[in-house]
Structure 1
Amino acid sequence: MNFQRDHFVNNTCMVFRDRMLAYLILMVSLILFFNCIFDRTAIPELFRSESINSKIKNDGTNCPFGNPLATDPKRYGKIHIIHREGYTLGHSSKYRMAIWVCEEILSEELLGKATRRNHFKPEPLLSKGERAELSDYKNSGYDRGHLAAADNYRSDQRLNDESFYLSNVVPQDHSFNAGIWKKLEEQIRSWVKRYNRVIVITVPVYIDDKNQFPRFIEKNNDLTVPNHFFKILVRDENGSTLLLAFLAKHKKATNISLESFLTTVDLAEEHTQLNFLPNIPDVDESLEATVGVYWP
């Protein structure tokens, strides 16, 4: 009698165990299945956030004076804010490209063995139709020019790789990209090594002085080629804020000193209708109207 009871109990336990195991396998399979087929870029617009966050929580480090703000909301259409550990950017769905990129560059980030793997890829946090695609650049004659430079992230391969998202890229003439633009990026890294920390805001300008679109990639007439680029640099020196703003026309430039590109933050804001340092202290606001002294 005890044998039959024990046998029944054992059989019941085995059946229960097998069913629970089957349920567990089914749940894991379903999770993996939906994880593979679910396309995060297909989220209905109703449920999409104006601010899109990656796994790295943004703490304001990349934009310590606040994210740049559009003073004319219609100019850029819907703007998505994308936060990454290395940079924060504002992306225009109208242009399908970034309108600004903020970085906090530290001297230790420039040291390391991370390499450029040149693996460009579409922005995974944006839907097709509001982002640039690899096909937009194919046989276009333009470089995929970085806004936040890959060489700013030598200490971490992941951060270096993340600089190759097309949201951090705009069409650039090769002579410009490999010329004056590269020279400016290298000078900024030299300053970072000297001063340990520099905030950099990089700004492509898509509209010329007459509010006309100057150039398009020929086979894709809604991907605009910037006609100018601004870089705004901010650093601290003994408790004082120092600003430099550079304006470079998107063309080949040789034998020209970077100092000749100095301008004011106010001019950058006028041409882009963006407020780049919305939270700068009142005592420092006058700096935006002044051409800074070229740093040693």
Structure 2
Amino acid sequence: MTKALFRLFILFITCSTAISCSEQDSPDLPDNPGNTNQGIASIDQTQINANGGGFIIRVKADGTWQASSSETWCTLSRTSGNGNGSISGYMKANTGAERSVIIIITSGKEEAQFTLKQLAGDGSNPDPDPDPEKPSGYAGRIEIPKLKGGSMNQFITHTTNIEGKEIITYSMEYDYSKKHARWVAFTFDSKTKISNVSRTEAWMYDKKIPEEYRTYEKDYKEYSRGHLCASYDRTYSLEANKQTFYYSNMSPQSTAFNTGFWTKFEQSIKTPNGKNDFIHKLGDNDTLYVVKGGYIDDEEIKYTGNHVAVPRFYFIALLLYQNGQYTQGMAYYVNQFDYDPSSTIKSYAMSIDKLEEKTHIDFFHNLPPDIESEVEAKYDEKAWFQ
């Protein structure tokens, strides 16, 4: 009798634990206008913009379940499971008319059906999965380095809409295997140089990245969360500043480097000559192209506990387009664990060609070859540090 009761007790504890763990693995989505709940499943949004993006479905089922998408341009991270679980969905960019997709979740006799709408595109072919050898859309822009490509790298562009016009916040190529951007690229021009808002502190995971490759606050607890595209760089709109707080835009940095020397580099982009007038002198048709990042192909690179790459070296590449021509290029390269905090950032400056030798990244490759060769080969210290 005692053994039978003991077995029954163990069975009860085992079942209770399994149910508890299953529920913890699939928490309810927070209440918001886009959250639709249909019994066995809920979805966090029902509308995706034309540039593409991700969504999350939570499944609550007692047994096996299946999931399907009615369109090939909308993919699901998994199409079946057992018990509670989550699905990451992703829509490719839309260059045509508004379109819809139906997502169906079934478990036994229960079914949940969601219709997601994707807004119409403008025909510019943003192309979130471009051919590295034949870049188009966003990937064909001047600031975008040559993509590494492959199934473990994702090209992402975040945008906002101001007065009916799309403004690019920044683009990046994100490495799934290292949970870190290979680089982040953006521009300053007559619209994006403006400072209208303050730092938002809107920390958030990046919905465009599949769930299993995302990073969160806990992944940086050993380090400071260093912005690649700085909050300071995107103050022309509230939404743009919020996008700089996506964890995909973060890099694990030592506190001393993040709050000290890296901040000097960030501030130098807006004011390279230290007189707070460089960016402000950009004319209506002038542009400063910027690429920033941590070098993650370093053979000696280390990782956080959740396998987020911790770069030793950080880089910046700058290209100035002014008065109708590409006039100047320069770059920085610094080791966050081995630098002289009393030195000036000028001592870490170099030509873009030299930076390419160190990082093996082809910067500004969308320029005409003769112009690319000219601006990347020379570094005129006086032009940048007056």
Q: TM-score, normalised by structure 1?
A: 0.74
User: Structure 1 residues 66 and 116, CA, compared in 2 at 3 Å: closer, same or farther?
Assistant: closer
User: Structure 1 residues 170 and 134, CA, compared in 2 at 3 Å: closer, same or farther?
Assistant: same
Matching residue of 2:309: 224
After the TM superposition, which of the residue ranges 175-184 and 35-44 deviates more from structure 2?
A: 35-44
User: Structure 1 residues 255 and 66, CA, compared in 2 at 3 Å: closer, same or farther?
Assistant: closer
User: Structure 1 residues 61 and 70, CA, compared in 2 at 3 Å: closer, same or farther?
Assistant: closer
The Cα shift of 1:91 comes to 0.7
Aligned-partner Cα distance in 2 for 1:60–1:136: 33
The Cα shift of 1:112 comes to 3.7
| CA RMSD, 1 decimal | 3.4
Matching residue of 1:82: 156
Matching residue of 1:147: 228
Alignment of 1:274-293 (within 5 A): 274-284=361-371, 285-293=373-381
Q: Indicate the structure with greater helix content.
A: 1
> Per-residue CA shift, 1:276-295, capped at 9, x if unaligned?
21211122214323334341
Larger radius of gyration: 1
Residue type matched to 2:217 in 1? Answer: L
Aligned-partner Cα distance in 2 for 1:68–1:51: 20
Alignment of 1:1-296 (within 5 A): 32-33=36-37, 36-37=42-43, 40=55, 43-44=75-76, 64-65=141-142, 67-70=144-147, 78-84=152-158, 85-106=168-189, 108-138=191-221, 140=222, 142-190=223-271, 191-196=278-283, 197-208=287-298, 211-213=299-301, 215-217=302-304, 219-220=305-306, 222-241=307-326, 242-251=328-337, 253-284=340-371, 285-294=373-382, 295=384, 296=386
User: Structure 1 residues 88 and 52, CA, compared in 2 at 3 Å: closer, same or farther?
Assistant: farther
Aligned-partner Cα distance in 2 for 1:287–1:187: 19
The Cα shift of 1:51 comes to 7.5
CA contact (8 A) 2:143 2:289 kept: no
Aligned-partner Cα distance in 1 for 2:224–2:249: 13
Residue type matched to 2:291 in 1? Answer: I
SS in 2 for 1:40: strand
Give the number of the structure with larger relative contact order, counting CA–CA contacts within 8 Å between residues 6 or more apart: 1
CA contact (8 A) 1:146 1:170 kept: yes
> Per-residue CA shift, 1:204-257, capped at 9, x if unaligned?
11244xx222x322x33x211111111011112333321011112113542212
User: Structure 1 residues 206 and 262, CA, compared in 2 at 3 Å: closer, same or farther?
Assistant: same
> Per-residue CA shift, 1:30-65, capped at 9, x if unaligned?
x94469525725743598578899989759679732
After the TM superposition, which of the residue ranges 146-155 and 262-271 deviates more from structure 2?
A: 262-271
**Structure 1 spans left out of the alignment, 5+ residues:** 1-30
User: Structure 1 residues 244 and 63, CA, compared in 2 at 3 Å: closer, same or farther?
Assistant: farther
The Cα shift of 1:260 comes to 1.0
User: Structure 1 residues 268 and 65, CA, compared in 2 at 3 Å: closer, same or farther?
Assistant: same
User: Structure 1 residues 88 and 36, CA, compared in 2 at 3 Å: closer, same or farther?
Assistant: same
The alignment-based identity, stated in percent, is 21
Residue type matched to 1:40 in 2? Answer: F
User: Structure 1 residues 255 and 193, CA, compared in 2 at 3 Å: closer, same or farther?
Assistant: farther
User: Structure 1 residues 83 and 70, CA, compared in 2 at 3 Å: closer, same or farther?
Assistant: closer
User: Structure 1 residues 63 and 103, CA, compared in 2 at 3 Å: closer, same or farther?
Assistant: farther
Aligned-partner Cα distance in 2 for 1:131–1:125: 9
After the TM superposition, which of the residue ranges 45-54 and 93-102 deviates more from structure 2?
A: 45-54
Q: TM-score, normalised by structure 2?
A: 0.58
CA contact (8 A) 2:143 2:185 kept: no
Number of residue-to-residue matches in the alignment: 258
> Per-residue CA shift, 1:145-173, capped at 9, x if unaligned?
10111112222111101110011111111
**Structure 2 spans left out of the alignment, 5+ residues:** 1-34, 45-53, 58-74, 79-88, 96-117, 127-135, 159-167, 272-277
